[in-house]
């Protein structure tokens, strides 16, 4: 999942489902919330898009680095040291109030890693502790890492931000041929390709691989091209992979060669297998009640590797933060051209228009949330979130040369966002001006309440209509997006089988009412019981009579109208 925008900025206007909320990007702005004021959108007019070109064929203004604002730094070493002295207590307070098993935090100031510590346990109930080199799954913090990799490809003239993706990835296709021909790398890395939030995610939950998912995005309905903003993991993945194709390297190899090795990020990878074999790694956890947590799930995000599949340590990520704050240089050597990296740091899309005249507009760059505070200081950030058990956040104040990253091995509750916000607030004001932990916890509680399914399949209707005989439902059903679905009887239980060949998942069906059955949803986006609604054939057979169902609709998988399977 993913991964969200500043909770403080967005809680009043966030989408209502978890995929939108937790994938609706990082925390730019939250740390400076007491100082925030309205700012002016820097987007091209609707319809021209971030990937447009002027009459001369040069990149549009939105793809040029923003001029540096003449802003006097408000922080100094003494203020930062004061905040650093309180950071242990901030983290420990978060752990005591939530019970989250493990946390790691690093801070960069003036091109130095000035803080790097681990707290708690890699796995609940086990003795191994977290340190600054413990490897965490970073979820959507993978996105700004990926845009940095793409910026290196741009630096080396292998690709440009305004190149159509199809020029480098010939198999790329979306539902609208015009969008397929014209969607640029920048369009997809700023979530303006028109794909809906969550497009492809449910295929990933079922175990389909990257090639299958990307090749089926052309069935997804599209929103307005370049005039809409929809946070999309697989749209982002397609945009990043164009850079890998241009460099003629697999994505994980490219990231390693052009970013991780030059920075000495020896514990960072876009391969889930590398995370699994790391001897010093934090397992992901979900709450088990009364501040206890359990390492219950595994989350392989290789299918969306550029968007959510990275793993890293805070020690490594501090090096990457230094690169961001030094305009593409690391220890005196240029790794990525400043102009190419600068494009990732400026607004490309309005991610949230202001709800009132006094509210602040929210922007998305290329893999970063972008905002500005009352002092015209640029703020960059992003969160990462796996509902199966990881939550991460990074927040930068480039004008102050200050950045912080926080990684946790627990299901999202706003913990890393609050750690980052509390630290930066303390650096600026001597102490937090907001109860960030209470605020973010409340916001996440609202998210949990909003994600509940529309139909509560745990509550049977007052008058339940009987099911037909099993033979009515049993059979093979086809769907061009999800593939084949089989319904069979196993040990007397009606069972639904779905997923990629050789790796299908079986879902026991429980009768709910009439021709409707329930089953337990699975994966990163699971939200409890879902419905399998069978439709009678032309014979319209009555309950208990003969005939067979003509189709079955899975409501959980039907969020963009693709969830109906036809008997074949």
Question: What confidence score (pLDDT) does residue 224 get?
Answer: 97
Q: Could you tell me if 567 and 477 are in contact, meaning their C-beta atoms sit under 8 angstroms apart?
A: yes
What's the CA gap between 269 and 273, in Å, rounded? 9
What pLDDT does residue 373 have?
86
Greater model confidence, 64 or 36:
64
Q: What pLDDT shows up at residue 452?
A: 81
pLDDT in tens, 420-452: 999 999 999 999 999 999 999 998 888 878 778
Q: What is the mean pLDDT of the chain?
A: 88
pTM score, two decimals? 0.89
**Within 116-195, where are the H helices?**
142-155, 177-182, 185-189
**Which H/E stretch holds residue 379?**
strand 378-386
Domain edges within the chain: 7-37+77-142+251-450, 470-567
How far apart are alpha carbons 78 and 73 in whole angstroms?
13
Beta-bridged to residue 371, according to DSSP, are 379
Say whether pLDDT at 245 is over 80.
yes
- pLDDT higher than 70, residue 27: no
Q: Are 8 and 33 in contact (CB under 8 A)?
A: yes
Q: Show Cβ contacts of residue 438 under 8 Å, excluding neighbours closer than 6 positions.
A: none
Instruction: Tell me the mean pLDDT in the region 408-418.
Output: 96
Quote the percentage of the chain above a pLDDT of 70: 86
Give the number of C-alpha atoms closer than 13 A to the C-alpha of residue 159, restricted to the C-beta side: 28
**pLDDT tens digits along 42-75:** 222 233 333 333 323 333 444 655 555 556 789 9
- What is the per-residue pLDDT across 246-278, written as a single tens digit (0 to 9) for each? 999 999 999 999 999 999 999 999 999 999 999
* pLDDT confidence of residue 67: 55
Q: What is the pLDDT of residues 194-237, one digit of tens each?
A: 999 999 999 999 999 999 999 999 999 999 999 999 999 999 99
- What CATH class has 470-567? mainly beta
- 93-122 confidence digits (pLDDT tens): 999 999 999 999 999 999 999 999 999 999
Residue 343 has pLDDT above 60, yes or no: yes
Which CATH code fits 7-37+77-142+251-450?
3.40.710.10
The count of other CB atoms within 10 Å of the CB of residue 132 is 18
Q: What is the pLDDT of residue 454?
A: 86
Query: At CB < 8 A and 24+ separation, what contacts does 33-37 make?
Result: 33/6, 33/8, 33/9, 33/421, 33/425, 33/434, 34/425, 34/429, 34/433, 34/434, 35/373, 35/374, 35/375, 35/428, 36/9, 36/360, 36/371, 36/373, 36/374, 37/360, 37/373, 37/374
Rounded to 5 degrees, what are φ and ψ at 280? Answer: -115, 80
Asked whether the domain spanning 470-567 has the same topology as the one spanning 7-37+77-142+251-450, the reply is no
E strands, 24-172, in order: 102-109, 112-120, 136-137
Closest CA to 429 of 79, 48, 26: 79
pLDDT at 357 over 60: yes
Query: HSE-up of 5 (CA within 13 Å, CB side)?
Result: 27
DSSP percent split of the chain into helix, strand, coil, nearest 5: 30, 25, 45
- The mean per-residue pLDDT over the stretch 314-328 comes to 98
CB 487 within 8 A of CB 562: no
Q: pLDDT tens, 139-174?
A: 999 999 999 999 999 999 999 999 999 999 999 999
Helices 436-450 and 415-429 sit at what angle, rounded to 10 degrees?
150
| Residue 445: per-residue pLDDT | 84
Nearest alpha carbon to residue 448 among 10, 4, 97, 17: 17
Residue range 316-334: average pLDDT? 98
Helices (H), 160-209: 177-182, 185-189, 201-206
């Amino acid at each position: 999942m993913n991964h969200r925008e500043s909770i403080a900025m967005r809680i009043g206007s966030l989408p209502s489902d978890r995929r939108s909320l937790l994938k609706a990007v990082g925390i730019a702005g939250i740390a400076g919330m007491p100082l925030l004021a309205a700012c002016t959108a820097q987007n091209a007019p609707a319809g021209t898009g971030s990937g447009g070109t002027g009459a001369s064929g040069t990149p549009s203004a939105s793809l040029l680095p923003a001029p540096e604002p003449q802003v006097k730094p408000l922080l100094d070493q003494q203020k930062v040291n004061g905040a650093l002295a309180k950071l242990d207590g901030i983290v420990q307070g978060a752990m005591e109030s939530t019970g989250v098993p493990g946390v790691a935090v690093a801070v960069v100031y003036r091109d130095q890693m000035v803080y790097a510590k681990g707290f708690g346990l890699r796995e609940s109930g086990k003795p191994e502790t977290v340190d600054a080199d413990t490897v965490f799954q970073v979820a959507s913090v993978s996105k700004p890492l990926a845009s940095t990799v793409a910026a290196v490809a741009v630096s080396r003239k292998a690709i440009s931000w305004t190149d159509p993706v199809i020029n480098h990835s010939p198999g790329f296709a979306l539902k609208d041929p015009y969008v397929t021909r014209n969607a640029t790398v920048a369009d997809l890395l700023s979530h303006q390709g028109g794909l809906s939030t969550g497009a492809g995610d449910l295929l990933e939950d079922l175990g389909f691989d990257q090639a299958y998912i990307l090749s089926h995005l052309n069935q997804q309905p599209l929103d307005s091209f370049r005039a809409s903003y929809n946070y999309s993991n697989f749209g982002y993945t397609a945009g990043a992979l164009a850079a890998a194709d241009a460099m003629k390297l697999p994505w994980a190899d490219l990231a390693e060669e052009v970013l991780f090795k030059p920075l000495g990020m020896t514990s960072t990878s876009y391969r889930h297998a590398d995370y699994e074999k790391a001897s010093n790694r934090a397992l992901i956890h979900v709450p088990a009640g009364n501040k206890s947590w359990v390492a219950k799930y595994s989350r392989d995000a290789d299918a969306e590797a550029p968007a959510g599949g990275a793993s890293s340590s805070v020690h490594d990520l501090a090096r990457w933060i230094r690169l961001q704050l030094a305009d593409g240089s690391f220890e005196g050597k240029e790794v990525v051209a400043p102009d190419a990296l600068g494009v990732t740091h400026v607004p490309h899309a309005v991610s949230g228009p202001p709800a009132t005249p006094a509210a602040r507009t929210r922007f998305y760059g290329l893999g970063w949330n972008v905002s500005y505070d009352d002092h015209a200081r640029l703020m960059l950030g992003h969160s990462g979130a796996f509902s199966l058990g990881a939550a991460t956040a990074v927040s930068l104040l480039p004008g102050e040369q200050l950045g912080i990253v926080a990684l946790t091995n627990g299901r999202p509750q706003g913990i890393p966002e609050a750690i980052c916000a509390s630290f930066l607030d303390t650096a600026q004001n001597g102490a937090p001006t907001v109860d960030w932990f209470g605020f973010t916890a409340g916001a996440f509680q609202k998210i949990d309440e909003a994600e509940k399914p529309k139909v509560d399949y745990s509550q049977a209707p007052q008058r339940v209509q009987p099911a037909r005989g099993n033979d009515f439902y049993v059979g093979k059903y086809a769907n061009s997006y999800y593939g084949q679905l089989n319904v069979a009887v196993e040990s007397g239980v009606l069972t639904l089988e779905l997923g990629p060949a050789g790796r299908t998942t079986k879902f026991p069906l429980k009768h709910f009412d009439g021709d409707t059955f329930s089953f337990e949803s699975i994966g990163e986006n699971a939200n409890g019981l879902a419905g399998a609604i069978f439709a009678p054939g032309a014979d319209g057979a009555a309950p208990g009579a003969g005939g067979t169902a003509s189709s079955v609709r899975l409501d959980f998988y039907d969020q963009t109208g693709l969830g109906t399977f036809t008997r074949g």
